[in-house]
Amino acid sequence: MNVFRIEIAKRDYVLPLGLYIPAEIVKKIDSGMEIEAQAHARAQLILQQAEKEKTALLAAAQQQATEMMQLARAEMEKKFLQQHVNWLIEAEQLDIRLVEQARSRIMQALTSVIQSWAGQQPVDKILLARLTDQVEEMAQQGLITLRVHPQQVDSLTQKLGDRLTLQADASLEVDQAILACPLLSLNLSLSDHLSQLVTWLHESSAILPDEH
């Protein structure tokens, strides 16, 4: 080994003043600088790791916020849809009530008109109109007997007297007649027919489909 060989090392820091600097001092300074460099490196790693964790936390928070917003939006849409459905149901029920009320008023008016019209018609003429066809059909089966209220005897005798035997029956209503022949008997009541007509109108109205 050449004892006169001198190694020159470049330092990135300022050395203490003096013509001679002991090697121990230089080593201490080098050791301190190395420790400081390692500390800076560790600090840099810590900062980088912290930055990564911050980025991950922000991403997770953003994802969670997005999911919460989606859940909140879905819940709002569900509530809005349910509310809309409730409104439609209420509107439909209101329409049904209005239709039922209108239908009831119409049927009441129609019933009143029919009953009023029937009350204004001469009973003997209505009985005659209803009995004429039946008398023609039953005349082929033999002797015909017609029992009516005493008030109707004179009028019906003028129209049907030559076709049948007319009998007064005080137990019958004014609008009632019983037409009989050897094979069958027909009981005619204008009041019953009117009631059946009104009942049929109400039942027909009840089964009509609602159109909205």
- To the question of pTM greater than 0.75 for the whole model, the response is no
The token pair at 101 is: 């009320």
> Quick check: is 12 in a domain?
no
- pLDDT tens-place string over residues 19-28: 666 767 777 7
pLDDT digits (tens, 9 = 90+) for 172-196: 888 888 877 766 777 777 777 777 7
Among candidates 106, 113, 100, 109, which has minimal Cα distance to 194? 113
Which residues have C-beta within 8 Å of that of residue 11, sequence separation ≥ 6?
26, 29, 30
87 found inside a domain:
no
Give whole-number Cα distances, 45 to 32, 37, 49, 55, 88, in Å.
Answer: 20, 12, 6, 15, 63
| Cα–Cα dist 191/174, whole Å | 10
pLDDT value of position 208: 54
Whether 117 has a pLDDT exceeding 80, the answer reads: no
Query: Looking at the domain assignment, is residue 19 inside a domain?
Result: no
| Ranges 117-121, 167-171, 195-199: which has the least confidence | 117-121
What is the SS3 assignment for 146?
A: strand
For the stretch 192-197, contacts whose Cβ atoms lie closer than 8 Å and that sit 24 or more positions apart, written own/partner, are 194/114, 194/115, 194/118, 197/114
Domain count, the chain: 1
pLDDT at 166 over 50: yes
* 156 in a structural domain: yes
Domain that holds residue 146: 121-207
Pairing relationship of beta strands 145-148 and 165-168 according to DSSP bridges: parallel
- Indicate whether 212 pLDDT > 50: no
The CATH code of the domain that includes 200 is 3.30.2320.30
pLDDT in tens, 55-82: 888 888 888 888 888 888 888 888 888 8
- Concatenated DSSP letters for 77-120? HHHHHHHHHHHHHHHHHHHHHHHHHHHHHHHHHHHHHHHHHHHH
- How many other CB atoms sit within 10 Å of the CB of residue 115? 14
User: In this predicted structure, which of 16-20, 28-32, 109-113, 125-129 has the lowest mean pLDDT?
Assistant: 16-20
55 or 95, higher pLDDT: 55
pLDDT band for 108, please (50, 70, 90 cuts). confident
The mean pLDDT of 158-173, rounded to a whole number, is 80
Contact 14, 25 (CB under 8 A): no
User: Could you tell me if residue 162 is inside a domain?
Assistant: yes
Bridge-based pairing of strands 185-189 and 176-180 is: antiparallel
